[in-house]
Chains A and B, each alone.
Chain A
Amino acid sequence: MDDPFALLFPTAAATLRVATPLILAAMGGLFSERSGIIDVGLEGKMLMAAFFAAAVAAVTHSAWWGVAAAIAAAEVMALLHGLACITYRGNQVVSGVAINIIAAGLTIVWGNAWFQRGGQTPALDARSERLLPLFFPNAGDNILVYAALLSVPLTWWIVSRTRFGLRLRAVGEVPLAVDTAGISVPWLRYRAVLICGLFTGLAGAYIAIAQNAGFSRDMTAGQGFIALAAVIFGKWRPFPALGACLMFGLLDAVAIRLQGVRVPGVGEVPVQLIQALPYLLTVFLLAGFIGRAVAPKAIGQPYEKEH
């Protein structure tokens, strides 16, 4: 550790690289959860999006078609979630779990059927089939990184400053109040779920065609759940959720550098402990040991009108 400044930029860049999909997925999850729809299926949507991004980019030789395909794939899964949770008033957690499992299986089944590489997609050509850094060639600052950073103020603005945002916040708290105000609860929630699909699509595309050069099995590796944890940790608000994503990203970036390093006074910090920290912190938060995270009141409850 000779020069602290020489370390700062790479660490910051690494943090941002890791945090980008988390931020995108977290903003998506935030929309869904603020509307009252639990989304444990962020992971599955991202995975599906990552697969289609890589597959379509490889076939069309265009990163942009890859991004479009990723969004489309995530939206299909989001619609499925909406259908189950909103129209058929099914259990939201069950639906999310189903989406995760279906995505885990289907990406490999299709990947294998189409490319015969054990579930992987062909390595993408760096120039046309991947999203490239815009300003700093070594920092990985591709367009989706900036999109992620922009998505946070945008989310904040939509949620707190627009009619849609007001209604979104309302429907997650007291859907009956929204209904009696003459606003359609299902349509509002469908829009929230579709926005979530858009964001998770971008997150998946980032992982497959920006951060990596192709799809490999289970490549989201729990990032969807970390994003969910960040939503909770940020108490369902955009900027605190961004903070949580950056913190989790930093932990990850540091974990790699701390491997085998002895911290004075502590000894060697197990990498796994740092990896588990996002989950542990979220559990502590939920249990009220560090502050209080209060979920939107109507979360997880299907809205049922008596007739």
Chain B
Amino acid sequence: MRNPRRPLPAWADIVLLPLINIALAFVTVSIIVRINGVDPFHALRLLVVGALGSPESIGYTLYYATNFIFTGLAVAVAFHGGLFNIGGEGQAYIGGLGCGLAILALDRYLPAWAMIPIAILAAALFGAAWAAVPAWLQAWRGSHIVITTIMFNFVAAALMVYLMVNVLIAPGSMTPQSRNFEPSSFLPAMQGNALNLSLGLALVCCLAVWIFLWRTPWGYALRTMGHNPEAAVYAGTDLRRMTMVAMGISGGLAGFVGVNELMGVHHRIVLDFPAGYGFAGIAVALMGRNHPLGIALAALLFGILQQGGAELAFEIPTITREMVVVIQGLVILFSGALVQLPRPWLQMLFALRRPS
């Protein structure tokens, strides 16, 4: 059996192992690219140019990164509390609904300075509420949060389709989308680009999450629960309440995807805007080691992949932008489920270096 021969030095555990895992993911991708008959290095060059080659492409890269930051933070906050939230997709969806409803109700009466904060708050509240139900069900009824959040993704999707088709659809519209928002709800955006002020919100969230987790007594209690629930009980933390808090914050963060998409880009409620960002958040959080700084960097990388991948698909017909989805999946696989894969090999290498 796998004997924990001798523990790795701390730096190898913290830095080397994750890097090897990510490298494995990318090596696998380049093999897949190779199978498709494309030189991986050529593809990489096209991808980087496509993502960072012009102000416009950088704008799109950052716009995608914004969504990844929100969902990555959402996964990370829950994770620090020992909870696995894979309902980011549904929470983003419902968060968008909240912000859209607030705007549809108020945008004709309120100026931008009042409308925008209210809509952002509504997104957070709706996202939080959608996450709070699975949290409550786990804390009080003992149902498994993973299964419940999965199920809630589908319930959210069904609910949104119903609302868009039957309730919120703009009069006379053929496609299921709401009426256009008034400009008072528009977030300031880069000219002719999807990048908007949500990026600022995302960066503020990074900072806020960092402060919350590492600089407040509540974040302290949340992390204690995640690392050692028994110690949290000893310290006087109510685990049920803390579960609600962790999932509420997580859902609220996921809900901000709606802000970026609806207030920043679409300016109306549309279907399917979460587009997998909720799931990608798992990859972002895993790659960013659940730290806001790491998440911001991982989100940037995924933003580059998303934007560069689109350009790459345009240049090389045998590669589609779904390549990015494959990369996300591989990152989750290697930095999540297979984290321990390189450990025995590394241990062997280290043992060679210092014979005992």
- By a beta-carbon cutoff of 8 Å, the part of chain A in contact with chain B is 38, 40, 80, 83-85, 88-95, 97-106, 108-110, 112-113, 116, 119, 222, 225, 228-229, 232, 270-273, 275-276, 279-280, 282-283, 286-289, 295, 305, 307
A95 near B336: Cβ-Cβ < 8 Å: yes
Pairs across A and B, CB under 8 Å, 6 listed: A89-B340, A108-B325, A109-B36, A272-B165, A276-B158, A286-B143
Is B193 among interface residues, defined by CB-CB distance under 8 A?
no
Is B1 among interface residues, defined by CB-CB distance under 8 A?
yes
Q: For chains A and B in complex, what number of residue pairs have CB atoms within 8 angstroms?
A: 165
With A101-B328, A108-B322, A109-B36 known to touch, is A279 a contact of B151 (CB < 8 Å)?
Answer: yes
**B contacts with A: majority SS:** helix
- By a beta-carbon cutoff of 8 Å, the part of chain B in contact with chain A is 1, 3, 32, 36-37, 84, 86, 137, 141-144, 146-148, 150-152, 154-155, 158-159, 161-162, 165-166, 276, 279-280, 282-283, 286, 317-320, 322-330, 332-333, 336-341
**Given pairs A105-B323, A225-B154, 14 additional interface contacts (CB within 8 A):** A40-B150, A89-B340, A93-B86, A94-B336, A95-B336, A97-B332, A99-B329, A101-B279, A102-B326, A104-B329, A232-B147, A272-B165, A276-B154, A282-B147
With A98-B329, A109-B326, A295-B144 known to touch, is A119 a contact of B162 (CB < 8 Å)?
Answer: no
**Shortest 8 CB-CB contacts between residues of A and residues of B:** A105-B325, A102-B329, A101-B329, A95-B337, A105-B326, A286-B143, A90-B337, A276-B158
With A85-B337, A95-B336 known to touch, is A102 a contact of B330 (CB < 8 Å)?
Answer: yes
**A contacts with B: majority SS:** helix
- A287 nearest CB neighbor, chain B only: B141
- Pick the residue among B1, B137, B148, B338 that contacts A83 (CB under 8 A): B338
- B320 nearest CB neighbor, chain A only: A112
B contact residues around A295 at 8 Å (CB):
144
A104 near B337: Cβ-Cβ < 8 Å: no
- Pick the residue among A102, A108, A229 that contacts B320 (CB under 8 A): A108
- A101 nearest CB neighbor, chain B only: B329
With A112-B320, A288-B141 known to touch, is A93 a contact of B84 (CB < 8 Å)?
Answer: yes
Docked Cα-Cα span, A27 to B286, in Å, equals 31
Docked Cα-Cα span, A88 to B338, in Å, equals 6
A105 near B333: Cβ-Cβ < 8 Å: no
A97 near B32: Cβ-Cβ < 8 Å: no
A286 near B148: Cβ-Cβ < 8 Å: yes
B contact residues around A84 at 8 Å (CB):
333, 337-338
B336 near A91: Cβ-Cβ < 8 Å: yes
